[in-house]
Amino acid sequence: MSVAQGRWTGVALDHQIQPASSNPVVLNGQALAVWRGEDGPVRVWEDRCPHRGMRLSFGFVRGNTLRCIYHGWAYGADGQCAEIPAHPALAPPKTICANSYPAETRYGIVWTTLGDGASGPPDLGPDEGWEGVRSLFVAASAEAALTALARFDFGAGATTRMLAGDIVEVSFGPELRMLVVVQAMDDERAALHAAAKGARATEERAALAKRLERLRADIEQA
């Protein structure tokens, strides 16, 4: 399943990206480093150090800079190289810059786009009150995952509807909603990120996670 360059896609749950951590993500074949400094916002960069091409997701975070694990080159929140340890007196040229992508957190999910980010993530209503349920990785294409998700039986009284190209809403009555965002990794792998909202969201979180496990089995057996 191909993801349009300008489409915003969920790539992680916000609570999964811990402060001072860097995490690998693959979106439509593009390797990304999703990381968070000490100031709060999640950032999404190409998973490649401009110096020697080492994966930045292998790196480490100090304050609000991401350092490559290979030679320790440090990149600030804007992607600009801030320090070259082998040449501490050198002011790094402005041309040395990590390739970054737009990133926003909404509905408990981290969103990004491989395009210019002009439109922003989809508007699915009020942002308050959402909490992450879990992320799942499946050995199937995003198209197959969406097809299985649309027909999956989440239990008595649950209704499922498509909200956008890769987003499904599951309603369990007036007190509980769940969003499931499908992320295309490549032609044979996909990730599902689920967040819930409602008066019963916290108490039902474990039960929702079990339903998602059954969904994964259903997708991979299809």
Determine contact, residues 10/42, Cβ cutoff 8 Å: no
Domain shared by 146 and 190, yes or no? yes
- For the chain, the helix, strand and coil percentages under 3-state DSSP, each to the nearest 5: 15, 40, 45
State the DSSP H helix or E strand holding residue 39, giving kind and residue range, or none if neither.
none
The CATH number covering residue 62 comes to 2.102.10.10
Domain shared by 138 and 183, yes or no? yes
Domain shared by 103 and 149, yes or no? no
* pLDDT tens, residue by residue, 120-140: 999 999 999 999 999 999 999
A 10 A CB-CB count for 191 gives 22
* pLDDT tens, residue by residue, 3-58: 455 789 999 999 999 999 999 999 999 999 999 998 889 999 999 999 999 999 99
Average pLDDT over residues 110-116: 93
* pLDDT tens, residue by residue, 135-176: 999 999 999 999 999 999 998 789 999 998 799 999 999 899
Number of domain units in the chain: 2
User: 100 lies in a domain?
Assistant: yes
User: 123 lies in a domain?
Assistant: no
**Cα dist from 123 to 33, 114, 164, 174, 175, whole Å:** 25, 18, 10, 20, 20
The CATH number covering residue 160 comes to 3.30.530.20
* pLDDT tens, residue by residue, 180-214: 999 999 999 999 999 999 999 999 999 999 999 99
Domain shared by 108 and 137, yes or no? no
Domain shared by 83 and 48, yes or no? yes
Spatial separation of the C-alpha atoms in residues 193 and 181, rounded to whole Å:
5
Q: Which domain holds residue 212?
A: 131-221
Q: Do you know the residue count of the chain?
A: 222
pTM: 0.93
Domain shared by 15 and 107, yes or no? yes
